[in-house]
């Protein structure tokens, strides 16, 4: 972290507790090259809002991606991730 940089926690919406707002879950995402030039990649992420995270992945790897860097984003399973990592 940069010297002088201070990270502040996001404010919880009114009438909710921190525990309700901060509930996270594990999600596994598979990125596939539509051209077939690169092997698929399976990643693990801990997220608070899975739908919002998947939408951001679509934006990053499809909508906003440069030509040749586009990927098909799909949800994967823990088993898929373990096979990918060899664990």
In tens, the pLDDT along 48-67 reads 999 999 999 999 999 999 98
What average pLDDT does range 61-84 have in this prediction?
A: 95
Q: DSSP letter for 60, please.
A: I
Q: How many CB atoms lie within 10 A of CB 18?
A: 9
Quick one: pLDDT band at residue 3, thresholds 50, 70, 90? low
Sheet containing 72-76, strands listed edge to edge, beginning at the edge strand earlier in sequence: 41-47, 25-32, 72-76
DSSP H or E stretch at residue 41: strand 41-47
Above 50 in pLDDT, residue 1? no
How far, CA to CA in Å, does 68 sit from each of 34, 40, 65?
Answer: 9, 14, 8
- Domain spans in the chain, listed from the N-terminal domain onward: 23-85
Quick one: pLDDT band at residue 23, thresholds 50, 70, 90? confident
């Amino acid at each position: 972290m940069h010297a002088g940089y201070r990270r502040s926690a996001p404010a919880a919406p009114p009438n909710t507790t921190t525990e309700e707002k901060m509930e996270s879950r594990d999600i596994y995402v598979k990125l596939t090259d539509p051209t077939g030039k690169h092997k698929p990649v399976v990643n693990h992420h801990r997220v608070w809002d899975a739908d919002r995270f998947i939408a951001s992945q679509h934006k990053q790897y499809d909508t906003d991606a440069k030509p040749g860097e586009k990927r098909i984003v799909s949800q994967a399973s823990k088993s898929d991730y373990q096979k990918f990592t060899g664990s």
